[in-house]
Chains A and B, each alone.
Chain A
């Protein structure tokens, strides 16, 4: 017997009512702004006078006549150097915690995640204090070993490594770690048992079983980290270094902020943000192509 369900096959016009609140927000605050910012990138506009159409000039200036931009791209990429370290440590943490029979799993997980849960302006200010040359935790500990630590954030050689170290503290036990933990839990135990019978050691088991099986997770984490990395670095630099010393911690995102909301070069700022989008898009495509090989879903 077939039961014919009313409504289920015909168009449900009421759906639009459900969609409406969200769709309005989407149109006003995402869809239209995306188009507007694209259009804006072809104009010069300082917010007071009428916008002036300049064609591709903003992009040309940015890419060919603005050494600052390339410096900030360099800074952003340098800071992204923390990503592989971060991913590696997250995996190590997850493997340590995944060992069966370990009591207090949840306890350690909570502690490891604390920095991520806390992260934000307060943590950046805290690290500004920790990296303080005179009173900071870092130099106090270094002084125990007779090392006179640098003035971390005020030294352009150390400012970027400082931020990378902070980033590792914030996120090594964060979202990536939780993702790895879930991935490790999904690996069938009998695979390890079989390998053990064949006499495989821990190292061999890791490279032949664990690593290939968590590859989809690694792939996902790399893609998300790279996307976030290119867009990141504003808040920490604004709070801790104001982008200095000598522009050594200014990232692309910070440069957009300065152009848009400090110098009110709305068109130029839009052209940087679209360039940023293109960079992210290209890198995501590359990651996708490289990472897809050998992954079976």
Chain B
């Protein structure tokens, strides 16, 4: 009897329900993937096939020419390296500066601690646009100040530098410098806030034990807090990498030479220049998308957890 009720109550409605849900989920997945399929298939088409007004995903003459073309001729390789270097430096910078500051805010006692922390939180609400204008002005005027102070003769701080005469290295500071691309990303109020919340949840016992053993602040930070926070650091690293990799407005306003532009800026430049070679552009876009998608796939566990953790505490 009980078995009968169960099967009436659970199994058969569940089965139809599951069929409906699966059908819906598959249909939705397909609509999510469709544009990406268009992208990938167009990137391996030749010019003629790319400009056909019909839907076909499998080209008759698939080719990787677009990839080699965009990598070499359009100097996408350089842009890719620029993006990679800039993003990695920013990730490293934030992991170090934010975790150190978060340690201080979460675990140490010092005058003005809560006031400074309040300033951090208060500024998180202010739009990026407000901050960017003065930072742009500051970035622009750093070389002028440095030249006046240290190099009035040859103005070394605003000269374009080359390696072996041809390889563009950028300027030391200001517009078209790696310094300008990374400097404002090396720390963040948000990252500090997130890590602080995490550090607060680490039991204090371990730290107290280390203290009794005579560990100084640095060793507690380095050998107790950091090893215990790997998931949080991974989450922050993934977030920051994705943000830095996709960042557009800032690299757009501080670069004017293609050699030092990051990938999004070069892609944008490209689509203005070669409005007809869509298939080449698509190859460039696939290259641009790969790293973030790869990072997301690899770090999905941390990423999802991080989003959910942040929200529940927020």
**What's the least CB distance linking A138 to chain B, in Å?**
10
How many Å lie between the Cα of A18 and that of B217 in the bound state?
9
Q: Does B64 contact A (CB under 8 A)?
A: no
For A257, the chain B residues whose CB sits under 8 A away are 129, 249
Contact yes or no, A280 B110, CB < 8 A: no
**Interface with B: A2-10, A52-60, A61-69, A80-88, which one?**
A2-10
B281 contacts partner chain A, Cβ-Cβ < 8 Å: yes
Is B32 in contact with A29, judged by CB distance below 8 angstroms? no
* Interface membership of A246, Cβ < 8 A: no
Given contacts A120-B245, A120-B292, are A15 and B285 in contact (CB under 8 A)? no
Q: A22-B192, A37-B130, A120-B248 are in contact. Are A239 and B35 (CB under 8 A)?
A: no
Those of A92-147 within 8 Å (CB) of chain B: 93, 96-97, 99, 101-102, 106, 108-115, 117-123, 125-130, 134-135, 137, 140-141, 143
Say whether chain B's binding surface is mostly helix, strand, loop, or mixed: helix
State how many angstroms separate the Cβ of B272 from the closest Cβ of chain A.
9
Cβ of A59 to closest chain B Cβ, rounded Å: 14
Q: Please indicate the chain B residues that have their CB under 8 angstroms from the CB of A34 in the complex.
A: 123, 126, 130-131, 134
Any chain B CB within 8 A of the CB of A207?
no
Binds B, one of A71-79, A156-164, A175-183: A175-183
Choice from A32, A125, A143, A273 contacting B285 with Cβ under 8 Å: A125
Known A108-B25, A129-B38, A178-B307; contact A30-B123, beta-carbon cutoff 8 A:
yes
The answer to whether residues A220 and B29 also contact, given A12-B217, A14-B108, A239-B271 and a CB cut-off of 8 A, is no
Interface flag for B288 (CB, 8 Å):
yes
User: Shortest beta-carbon distance, B235 to chain A, in Å?
Assistant: 13
Task: Specify which of B51, B125, B271 is in contact with A135 (CB 8 Å cutoff).
Answer: B51
* Chain A residues with a Cβ under 8 A of chain B: 3, 5-16, 18-19, 21-26, 28-34, 36-37, 40, 47, 93, 96-97, 99, 101-102, 106, 108-115, 117-123, 125-130, 134-135, 137, 140-141, 143, 169, 173, 175, 178-179, 181-182, 217, 220, 227, 230-231, 234-235, 238-239, 253, 256-257, 260-261, 266, 269-270, 272-274, 276-277, 280-281, 284
Asked whether B293 lies within 8 Å of A22 as measured between CB atoms, the reply is no
Most buried by A among B53, B123, B245, B278: B53
Measured between beta carbons, the chain B residues less than 8 angstroms from A235 are 248-249
| B296 contacts the other chain (CB 8 A) | yes
Residue B206 is within 8 A (CB to CB) of chain A in the complex:
no
Known: A31-B123, A277-B126. A140 touches B54 (CB 8 A): yes
Q: Which B133-160 residues have C-beta < 8 A from chain A?
A: 133-138
Given contacts A220-B311, A227-B125, contact A126 B38 (CB under 8 A): yes
A257 to B127, CA, bound (A): 13
With an 8 A cutoff between CB atoms, is B194 at the interface?
no
In the assembled complex, the CB of B111 is this many whole angstroms from the nearest CB of chain A, namely 7
- Judge whether A19 and B35 touch: CB under 8 Å: no
* A281 CB, min distance to chain B CBs, angstroms: 7
Chain B residue, CB-CB nearest to A134 = B53
A24 to B291, CA, bound (A): 31
Q: How far is the CA of A250 from the CA of B120 in the complex (A)?
A: 31
Query: Cβ of A119: which chain B residues have Cβ within 8 Å of it?
Result: 246
* C-alpha gap A284/B122 in the complex (Å): 14
Chain B residue nearest to A143 (CB atoms) is B53
Closest to A267 in B: B133
Query: Residue on A with the closest CB to B117?
Result: A19
How close is B76's CB to chain A, nearest CB, in angstroms?
12
Among B110, B253, B263, B293, which residue has its beta carbon within 8 angstroms of that of A117?
B293
| Any A CB within 8 A of the CB of B212 | yes
Cα–Cα, bound, A47→B33 (Å): 46
Contacts of B38 in A (CB 8 A): 126, 129-130, 137
Interchain CB contact (< 8 A) of A273 among B54, B100, B130:
B130
